[in-house]
Amino acid sequence: MLYFESDYTEGAHPAVLRRLTETNLVTVKSYGADEFSAAAERKIRAACNAPQADVVFLTGGTQTNLVVISALLRSHEGVIAAETGHINAHEAGAIEYTGHKVLTLPEHEGKLDAAEVGAYCRAFYADETREHMVFPGMVYISHPTEYGTLYTKAELAALFDVCREYGMTLYMDGARLGYGLMSDQSDLTLPDIAALCDVFYIGGTKVGALCGEAVVFPNGKPLHFLTTVKQHGALLAKGRVVGVQFDALFTDGLYFKISRHAVEAANALKAVFLEKGYELFLDSPTNQQFVILPNEVLARLKRDVAFSVWQPLDAHRTVTRFVTSWATDPASITQVSQLL
Amino acid sequence: MLYFESDYTEGAHPAVLRRLTETNLVTVKSYGADEFSAAAERKIRAACNAPQADVVFLTGGTQTNLVVISALLRSHEGVIAAETGHINAHEAGAIEYTGHKVLTLPEHEGKLDAAEVGAYCRAFYADETREHMVFPGMVYISHPTEYGTLYTKAELAALFDVCREYGMTLYMDGARLGYGLMSDQSDLTLPDIAALCDVFYIGGTKVGALCGEAVVFPNGKPLHFLTTVKQHGALLAKGRVVGVQFDALFTDGLYFKISRHAVEAANALKAVFLEKGYELFLDSPTNQQFVILPNEVLARLKRDVAFSVWQPLDAHRTVTRFVTSWATDPASITQVSQLL
Amino acid sequence: MLYFESDYTEGAHPAVLRRLTETNLVTVKSYGADEFSAAAERKIRAACNAPQADVVFLTGGTQTNLVVISALLRSHEGVIAAETGHINAHEAGAIEYTGHKVLTLPEHEGKLDAAEVGAYCRAFYADETREHMVFPGMVYISHPTEYGTLYTKAELAALFDVCREYGMTLYMDGARLGYGLMSDQSDLTLPDIAALCDVFYIGGTKVGALCGEAVVFPNGKPLHFLTTVKQHGALLAKGRVVGVQFDALFTDGLYFKISRHAVEAANALKAVFLEKGYELFLDSPTNQQFVILPNEVLARLKRDVAFSVWQPLDAHRTVTRFVTSWATDPASITQVSQLL
Amino acid sequence: MLYFESDYTEGAHPAVLRRLTETNLVTVKSYGADEFSAAAERKIRAACNAPQADVVFLTGGTQTNLVVISALLRSHEGVIAAETGHINAHEAGAIEYTGHKVLTLPEHEGKLDAAEVGAYCRAFYADETREHMVFPGMVYISHPTEYGTLYTKAELAALFDVCREYGMTLYMDGARLGYGLMSDQSDLTLPDIAALCDVFYIGGTKVGALCGEAVVFPNGKPLHFLTTVKQHGALLAKGRVVGVQFDALFTDGLYFKISRHAVEAANALKAVFLEKGYELFLDSPTNQQFVILPNEVLARLKRDVAFSVWQPLDAHRTVTRFVTSWATDPASITQVSQLL
């Protein structure tokens, strides 16, 4: 079987696991006060060119979203997201469970449009009944998006500006951030993101870690954030578990190297499909590829290749998703080619 | 430095880490549907003699408590716990965050008394204003307790009976369950616990895992529990991470062997203190020892030994806590002896 | 000034206030256990032809919505509503505050389409990732809708059927129910509604009461519902306050008579606008009329008439809302006519 | 039957109902923006000598407690209350439903002791594990307490000081505030309370209104408080309903006169019991009297008098509660005397 189902079907990148093994018997303080977490924080600050940043390590994406969003919103506020935003569609109502509404706007290949966000806020503040409505307190974006697409620096800056204008925080869900940063089409660097977001996270689970996300607050974390983390059951007793992994990922550029590997594999896979005459649903520049397959091809391919059925396109064709990762074997792409 | 501060200051037991390494590149299904989690579930069912049990793997203790308690309580219900219960004292209000009150009763060396629970419920249902109060819907106990003490089989059976009488579920927090099961004083086995609790968890974080707890529902889990887990941000994309670890812990009795190691170390440490003429605050039969130290001894010992200050006893003496684990080096106990 | 701004700008219908005065010094049990509430419940059961129904009196519409919806949904479930549904648009996130997502579908003159609800559920249960999503647990409709429109009996029956098919409860927000029942276009009676809804409320605040809504559970209320009501701060110590009012409203058909008065006034007002050559935004058969006014007419009329600006239609015209009520003086409609 | 069961078994004081009737057909703005609410706010500001105060009208006590407490606490904070505090004992977990823990301290005739609050906070901030615990963010007191007792000015000032020292807000539940202010033993005035509390409410439901409480924020209300009120379903469309009642209550000192009436009746009732040789459980200076009755007297009296059984005292005697109100007929006290 060839695996392109998701970027979390293997364990950790071997170097990450090696680092866990090397440090395993060192006795350290718990709850994230360990030296490995501190080292990882230093390295992430440096990579972000954000010397004042606080970095907090959490375990998974939905957990990170709910902890960060509920910590930053006040009770009368909600969070703006694209309709396809992960928090709106695939987190089982985790944000609403914390008491906050997800305010949806149309998506454009998975992205929010800053002008539409501005128009929404303008209309909101012009509405005389606004005190009976949920105030927009935050803008949530994912980068890459659920469709693998990327914000340009200009687009991100425009969102940042509209957030400043209407007193909202800008939060980037970076579950696959590495795959975005290393895309050929990316014009955003980590320091750019740290300068243009109030908070974002660098995804580990989908980029080489067993589990773990690094939340970056470029201008410092909220008061008593550790207590908030604990309250959500998100504080690991052995904080080292995530700290060590990010220490490894941010040593010698590992995070970027393995992300680049996945992007190159995705590019190669895309080339294979195009060459064989298949169409793309949209042109993703990152590790998720959305390919339109005739249903009979889909059925045949399923026998040897694991991938996702995204949505039906019409009676004969289906949108499918193929995902590469740090673990993708380049040989498997050649094999897909032979199967088409 | 000699370390007795807690049972979560090292990584994982080497056999656990080895198993993570061996299985690392196997491609599996995500969100807990992997073969390693399935194997771990089978082994835990067998160890519990509970063939119908559902086993769900979560990441940490507070997370497990809040997910399980909120999943099982209805909105008008709260959970009875000892005043010293972890959910009441040291979980940053995680249970209340889910909307439920912790109803406290007196503790007896950390334990709830079944007769007092019964009396509480009797008074509750006799109170004409009870509909204005929080209904007792669950009894929470920890075993071992926060003081390292153990319920006897008779005590657990009595709690089970009072729960049946008043329509409550009985939930055991087994963060340190292994250390309880392997205590010289334990008359409870895993099958006993599975027979006498509606739900309990087998702690991994404090008993040899990097992270992870195995929640056991002897009679099956609640409807759509996976969605509830996801909603709390507690669903690992790589569910294998905890599954593999419990697979290792429940292979060849590893969980029990390493727990026994810690209990023996604790027994040896207790003997050292008693021999040197120190008193115990209470006589714990598990891996946490509560020793009364004169303040000057405490100050001196702190230079070479890491342990916790529990509470002042009087002007001259302090209650301290020394914790052993699977990682405790027996030689360190001899060294403590020499320092006293 | 002529008032058409809303149906809650006066106090209570005089007969309601008279009944409050007559009964004022009678000493009764508190928290809804009084004889007036019991009488009101009996009369409402009779009017609904639902002898097994439980009737619970609450204070306002948003309160009723949040109490009922959170009481009936389980934690993994959300509530389907039209985009324009009051719970989605104008309740300040009250439903989300209770932890539940509002799942929005398109509106058709304010109404949900049963076929679309069915398609949504079918797609949901066909989605392999549905356990990561919010389960549809209830359908919320308002009748009349926010646009004053009405469901036909066939439409309500179709919604009822789709709810049965997918295990959802059907809840009708009847804030303006009287104005719907007494519309010329209504083919739904109270007994029909009681037969086709799992729960609904008969609005009092907008139909002649000082405050108060009567929640009807045709097949009985949830277990310990009074405790749930109390928990939301929705239990009046003097339950009589709402009970007496509904007793008056359901004596000698008062509720229906005053509702009919408002509908006739609305019909007359609509006729005035049409006669003067103005267009309707949509043809509402109840007490809310949505009229398209040229902006200069709007500005002129505002000097003498209170009404709501609903939304701009184009550069020159605006959608406005005129609302009649039990308190509308027919003479005021003639006066509007003279102003146009 | 003679009624001493509670102070909410009749409707409104006749002058209050009269004012509702007089103003009934005046057309006003909704949601509390009406002229009657504004007048009531002005009168309350004057009575409190707090010209900057914001006054918000809500419907009931539990509702007020949950709205105010959840609006002022941050997510990592809880509220300190006496064990017998209404929010801890008799509000069905309403505070916990909003996500906040009630932190209980011992009661002294229903009161909190400022020294104990200080000691609690000192211990909290000295605890190295405090970040795993709920931060004390507010102190809740009721005045009069659940036992009818009163804080002295010195006691209130001491609580105020400890709140300043530890960054907590001081909140007074004044469900029966009038009966406290008009007690012979009160040395606190409304201006004193406004100077020494961050927020408090003046109870209407138990002091002559149909329903309603006036929340006073001497230094201004929280940002977007109306939205918070709406979110909890606590915003009346006809805000006038409570506004008019408080306008009446604070006209010509009505609130104080009717409170004094109840206190005098309570004093007379207490004198009757003492004269007949019965003991008090505690000496309440307000409208609730706690009398110890032999069980046979209790049984006999129950035939003609409505009162509450508070708690058993011993095998032969019971603590009972007799409550007077603005509605108590002095003749009924003479009748009780004849029955003893």
A66, A76, A98, A226: best mutation site toward chain D, by most D Cβ within 10 Å?
A76
Q: Would you say how long chain C is, in residues?
A: 340
Q: How many CB atoms lie within 10 A of CB C168?
A: 24
Instruction: Please state, in angstroms and rounded to a whole number, the distance separating the CA atoms of residues C48 and C191.
Output: 4
Instruction: Please state, in angstroms and rounded to a whole number, the distance separating the CA atoms of residues C108 and D209.
Output: 44
| pLDDT for position A275 | 97
Return the structure tokens found at A304. Answer: 């040897």
In chain C, beta strands by DSSP E: 2-3, 54-58, 77-82, 102-105, 135-142, 169-173, 199-203, 213-217, 279-282, 288-294, 305-306, 308-312, 317-323
Angle at A28 between CA A24 and CA A32, to 5 degrees: 100
Q: What are the φ and ψ backbone dihedral angles of B117, each rounded to 5 degrees?
A: -65, -45
Q: What are the φ and ψ backbone dihedral angles of B172, each rounded to 5 degrees?
A: -110, 125
Contact A237 B11 (CB under 8 A): no
Cis peptide bond prior to A144, omega within 30° of 0: yes
Give tens-digit pLDDT for C182-226.
999 999 999 999 999 999 999 999 999 999 999 999 999 999 999
Instruction: Please state, in angstroms and rounded to a whole number, the distance separating the CA atoms of residues C176 and D237.
Output: 13
Residue A2 gets the label, from left (phi > 0), alpha (psi -120 to 50) or beta, of: beta
Instruction: Please state, in angstroms and rounded to a whole number, the distance separating the CA atoms of residues B122 and B143.
Output: 25
A227, A229, A232: best mutation site toward chain D, by most D Cβ within 10 Å?
A227
Contact C8 D238 (CB under 8 A): yes
Instruction: Please state, in angstroms and rounded to a whole number, the distance separating the CA atoms of residues C5 and C308.
Output: 6
Count of B-C CB contacts under 8 Å = 39
| pLDDT for position C134 | 98
Contact C131 B70 (CB under 8 A): no
The nearest CA of chain B is from the CA of C271 a distance in Å of 50
Instruction: Please state, in angstroms and rounded to a whole number, the distance separating the CA atoms of residues C93 and C99.
Output: 10
- Let me know: does C252 contact C68? Beta carbons within 8 Å: no
- Let me know: does D9 contact D3? Beta carbons within 8 Å: yes
pTM over 0.95: yes
Return the structure tokens found at D273. Answer: 């019991």
Share of chain B above pLDDT 90, in %: 100
On chain C, the residues whose CB falls within 8 A of the CB of B228 are 75-76
Share of chain D above pLDDT 90, in %: 100
Cis peptide bond prior to C144, omega within 30° of 0: yes
Handedness of CA B23, B29, B30, B32 (dihedral sign): negative
- Closest Cβ opposite residue C237 in set D1, D8, D235: D8
Helices in D74-221 by DSSP H: which ranges? 86-89, 94-97, 114-126, 153-165, 177-181, 190-196
Return the structure tokens found at B253. Answer: 């009795």
Long-range contacts of A186-191 (CB under 8 A, 24+ apart): A186/A150, A186/A285, A187/A152, A187/A153, A188/A143, A188/A150, A188/A151, A188/A152, A188/A153, A188/A156, A190/A47, A190/A48, A190/A49, A191/A48, A191/A49, A191/A50
Contact D102 B100 (CB under 8 A): no
The nearest CA of chain C is from the CA of D293 a distance in Å of 23
Note down pLDDT in tens along chain A; length 340 residues: 999 999 999 999 999 999 999 999 999 999 999 999 999 999 999 999 999 999 999 999 999 999 999 999 999 999 999 999 999 999 999 999 999 999 999 999 999 999 999 999 999 999 999 999 999 999 999 999 999 999 999 999 999 999 999 999 999 999 999 999 999 999 999 999 999 999 999 999 999 999 999 999 999 999 999 999 999 999 999 999 999 999 999 999 999 999 999 999 999 999 999 999 999 999 999 999 999 999 999 999 999 999 999 999 999 999 999 999 999 999 999 999 999 9
* Mean pLDDT, chain D cut into blocks of 10 residues (340 residues total): 96 98 97 98 98 98 98 97 97 98 98 98 95 98 98 98 98 98 97 98 98 98 97 98 98 98 98 97 97 97 96 95 97 95
Which distant-in-sequence residues (6+ apart) come within 8 Å of B299 by Cβ? none
CA B288 to chain centre: 12
SS3 C213: strand
The nearest CA of chain B is from the CA of A251 a distance in Å of 20
Nearest by Cα to B282 from B144, B91, B115, B90: B144
Q: How many CA atoms lie within 13 A of D111 on its CB side?
A: 18
Instruction: Please state, in angstroms and rounded to a whole number, the distance separating the CA atoms of residues B9 and A28.
Output: 5
| pLDDT for position C161 | 98
| pLDDT for position B38 | 98
Instruction: Please state, in angstroms and rounded to a whole number, the distance separating the CA atoms of residues B145 and B176.
Output: 9
| pLDDT for position B123 | 96
Touching subunits for chain B (3+ Cβ pairs under 8 A): A, C, D
| pLDDT for position B219 | 96
| pLDDT for position B84 | 96
Fill in the DSSP letter of residue C130. G
Task: Find, in chain B, the residue whose alpha carbon is nearest to that of A329.
Answer: B25
Nearest by Cα to C327 from C1, C30, C85, C8: C8
Give tens-digit pLDDT for D237-275.
999 999 999 999 999 999 999 999 999 999 999 999 999
- Let me know: does D60 contact C236? Beta carbons within 8 Å: yes
Q: Would you say how long chain A is, in residues?
A: 340
For residues B48-56, give the mean pLDDT.
Answer: 98
- Closest Cβ opposite residue A92 in set C92, C97, C134: C134
Which distant-in-sequence residues (6+ apart) come within 8 Å of B223 by Cβ? C74
Contact C231 B70 (CB under 8 A): no
On chain A, the residues whose CB falls within 8 A of the CB of B329 are none
The nearest CA of chain D is from the CA of C75 a distance in Å of 14
The nearest CA of chain D is from the CA of A235 a distance in Å of 10
ipTM comes to: 0.97
Long-range contacts of D301-305 (CB under 8 A, 24+ apart): D301/D336, D301/D339, D301/D340, D304/D1, D304/D2, D304/D335, D304/D339, D305/D1, D305/D2, D305/D3, D305/D4, D305/D336, D305/D339
| pLDDT for position A256 | 98
Pairing state between β B213-217 and B54-58: antiparallel
Give tens-digit pLDDT for B191-225.
999 999 999 999 999 999 999 999 999 999 999 99
| pLDDT for position C130 | 97
Q: What are the φ and ψ backbone dihedral angles of C319, each rounded to 5 degrees?
A: -85, 130
Distances, alpha carbon C25 to alpha carbons A25, D14, D266, in Å: 77, 9, 20
Nearest by Cα to C191 from C45, C90, C20, C19: C45
List chain C residues with pLDDT less than 70. Answer: none
* Residue whose entry in the numeric block shows the structure tokens 């002058």: D15
Pairing state between β D213-217 and C305-306: unpaired
Q: How many CB atoms lie within 10 A of CB B222?
A: 15
Contact A63 B233 (CB under 8 A): yes
| pLDDT-based confidence at residue B291 (cuts at 50, 70, 90) | very high
Give tens-digit pLDDT for B174-184.
999 999 999 99
Task: Find, in chain B, the residue whose alpha carbon is nearest to that of D134.
Answer: B92
Q: How many CB atoms lie within 10 A of CB C250?
A: 22
The nearest CA of chain A is from the CA of B15 a distance in Å of 11
- Closest Cβ opposite residue C224 in set B71, B135, B230: B135
Instruction: Please state, in angstroms and rounded to a whole number, the distance separating the CA atoms of residues B11 and A18.
Output: 13
On chain A, the residues whose CB falls within 8 A of the CB of B234 are 63, 233
CA A323 to chain centre: 14
Contact D100 B93 (CB under 8 A): yes
For residue D308, list its beta bridge partners.
D321
For residue A229, list its beta bridge partners.
none
Q: Would you say how long chain D is, in residues?
A: 340
Return the structure tokens found at B241. Answer: 């991470």
